[in-house]
Amino acid sequence: MNLQNLLQEKIGLLRQYGTLVEPITSIAFDSRNIINGSAFFCIKGENADGHDYIVEAIENGAILIAGTDAGQFEVLSKEYPACTFILVQDVRYAMAHFSIFFYNHVHESLQTIGVTGTNGKTTVATFVRSLLNQLDVPAGSIGTNGICSSKGQITFKKSTPTTPEAPDLHHIFQLLSEEQDQAAVMEVSSIAVDQKRVEGIHFDIAIHTNLSSEHLEYHKTFEHYKEAKMKLFKQASRSIINYDDEGMGRDLINAAQGEVLTYSLKPSSKADLIADKIHVTEEGTSFELVYRNRSYIVHSTVFGDYNVANLLTAIGVGIFNGFDIETMLPALAQIENPAGRFQVIDQYGERKIILDYAHTPVALENLIEEAKKLDHRKLIVMIAGIGIRDFNKMPLMAKTIEGKADKIVVTVDHPGFYDPEKIVNQVMTGFSDQTASNIYTSLTREEGVITSLELSGNDDIIILTSGCINGAQIVKGKEIPHSDEEIIQDYFSEISYIGEDTIGTLY
């Protein structure tokens, strides 16, 4: 199919002004990223409308403009006759299909595995990529922790925290293909589905982790949020579904198309993959895996029942790829754990520091339950209000942690355009006693991390929840570099340990 046929048949074209003569060199939805020969798609975002930047895009070199403003196109097409303007029904739909065309349908050369759910997407994507690579199926991943090929991290500035916009997504597929990867595991957020970032992709496998309230600042209703998640499975040939999830599991089992594998942590369930007799140690977790009436003992470095469930999804992908359980067992024992997901740091004295992205009430509750299985004296937990997320969720984080930790630190994550003090105050409203002596507050994440460390001593567990997106804090639209690990390292490099219960004094 040539470009003109694409414009006529695949992108919902309503009217075209001018004939495209020069080849397209890139796709952009930000006028600042335009180069000579770019196609510019006028996306309407929360804070800006691409239609307001058309002239800037043209001056920067755009030769094709796609949008929905007929009146503006009528005028501009006369002012810039060398440019082609295409009026479309849906700019995001058009951009997705244009991206597929521009990158020569490269996603079809990869096994595409989409992971969705309120919690666990990053962990599942990491587990699946790790398992496939160990099974000699070169795989990359796309998600909150960045872009990885089978050979390692790829430097790529993502357009969004989790699922990239369509042009970036198909560019990444091309990069993975150039690395000779055979599979791409990607986190698919509800917002990404709703915004058609994965439009036109038929996934080989779709994975469901769980569903609880999240992103209502965008979706407005829980039902809309759920519907967006459900749509992914209409774009997939095969599905792996959490049998235990009350939020969406049963609906997906009934609605999913093609072959389905279910997984469960309940021995009495009728799921295809069941984990039973879960045993947690300081080194990881072992459990009995039941599949097709046969039992296998799995040893893995993962922590927590919920991560055992996440591991079952990776096993499901292995099964769909034709591998038997015996072949997978050695790989499961060496599965890679994602950074910031029950990431244990234990080199600073006789204490454990756990970094975990938990940023929903359900994830926080699961995290605390699993952390308490480890030997400890005091439990110190830092929670954060996230300025770029739903404000109504913030008090629920406080309600979840109240009474479950010895010390609680309330801080701010990604304040966005909000005053950090307003965010902290919103979290604090969830405590029944906001004046409790074991609750501390800080107005930056860095201060929150340091306060948590100052409150700790030997044999304590310090849990730092929520966390950075792509190694940065989002403040007033800008990404400010931030690393919890660097803050921890710098903190302990300046002190020496004195006594069993104290952190120490400055050098």
- In this structure, the dihedral spanned by the alpha carbons of residues 123, 128, 129 and 132, taken in order and rounded to 10 degrees, is 160
Q: Output the furthest CA–CA distance in the chain (Å, rounded).
A: 79
Residues facing 186 on adjacent strands: 114, 142
Give mean pLDDT, residues 194-205: 95
Express each pLDDT in 455-467 by its tens digit.
999 999 999 998 7
- Domain at 343-506, CATH class: alpha beta
Give mean pLDDT, residues 169-180: 97
| Contact (CB, 8 A) for 320 and 238 | yes
Please report which residue ranges of 156-241 form alpha helices under DSSP H. Answer: 166-178, 190-194, 216-219, 222-232
The predicted structure's pLDDT at residue 388: 76
Express each pLDDT in 389-445 by its tens digit.
778 889 999 999 999 999 999 999 988 888 999 999 999 999 999 999 999 999 999
Lowest mean pLDDT among 136-140, 218-222, 292-296, 320-324: 218-222
Closest alpha carbon to 192 in 247, 121, 132: 121
Would you list the domain boundaries of the chain? 3-101, 105-332, 343-506
Please report which residue ranges of 135-248 form alpha helices under DSSP H. Answer: 166-178, 190-194, 216-219, 222-232
| Contact (CB, 8 A) for 163 and 188 | yes
Asked whether the predicted pLDDT for residue 502 surpasses 70, the reply is no
Residue at token pair 């082609």 = 84
The predicted structure's pLDDT at residue 360: 85
Q: How far apart, in whole angstroms, are the C-alpha atoms of residue 256 and residue 129?
A: 23
Asked whether the predicted pLDDT for residue 499 surpasses 60, the reply is no
β-strand 236-242 against 259-264: which pairing, if any? Answer: parallel
| Contact (CB, 8 A) for 362 and 119 | yes
Give mean pLDDT, residues 331-359: 89
Question: Token digits for 265?
Answer: 């942590």
- Model pTM? 0.83
The predicted structure's pLDDT at residue 500: 42
Express each pLDDT in 70-91 by its tens digit.
999 999 999 999 999 999 999 9
The predicted structure's pLDDT at residue 14: 93
The CATH fold of domain 3-101: 3.40.1390
The predicted structure's pLDDT at residue 130: 97
**CATH code, residues 105-332:** 3.40.1190.10
Closest alpha carbon to 85 in 26, 166, 9, 7: 7
Asked whether the predicted pLDDT for residue 498 surpasses 70, the reply is no
The H-or-E segment that residue 453 falls in is helix 445-454
Lowest mean pLDDT among 103-107, 188-192, 253-257, 293-297: 253-257
Judge if 3-101 and 343-506 fold alike in CATH terms: no
> Alpha carbon of 203 to those of 145, 146, 174, 420: distances in Å?
21, 20, 16, 40
Distance of CA 134 to the CA centre of its chain: 23
Asked whether the predicted pLDDT for residue 221 surpasses 90, the reply is no
| Contact (CB, 8 A) for 124 and 341 | no
Asked whether the predicted pLDDT for residue 506 surpasses 80, the reply is no
> Alpha carbon of 295 to those of 66, 90, 275, 290: distances in Å?
56, 51, 10, 5
Q: How far apart, in whole angstroms, are the C-alpha atoms of residue 181 and residue 151?
A: 9
Express each pLDDT in 19-52 by its tens digit.
888 899 999 999 999 999 999 999 987 778 999 9
The answer for residues whose C-beta is within 8 angstroms of residue 66's C-beta and 6 or more apart is 11, 39, 40, 41, 42, 85, 86, 88, 91, 94, 95, 98
The rounded percent of the chain whose pLDDT value lies above 70 is 94
Asked whether the predicted pLDDT for residue 133 surpasses 90, the reply is yes
Give 496's pLDDT tier (boundaries 50, 70, 90). Answer: low
